[in-house]
Amino acid sequence: MSSIKAADLHSALQPVAYRLDTIAEALKQHQPSDQGAAAIALLRELVDDEPCRLDHNAFCQTHYYDHPCANERARTLLAQLDANEN
pTM of the model: 0.58
So what's the pLDDT on residue 79?
A: 92
pLDDT values of the chain reduced to their tens digit, one per residue, 86 residues: 456 666 666 676 777 777 777 777 776 766 556 778 888 898 999 898 899 998 888 888 998 777 788 899 899 999 998 888 76
Q: H/E/C letters for each residue in 44-58?
A: HHHCCCCCCCECCCC
How many other C-beta atoms are found inside a 10 Å radius of the C-beta of residue 63?
Answer: 21
Please, is 4 exposed, middle or buried when counting C-beta atoms within 10 Å of its C-beta (0-12, 13-18, 19+)?
exposed
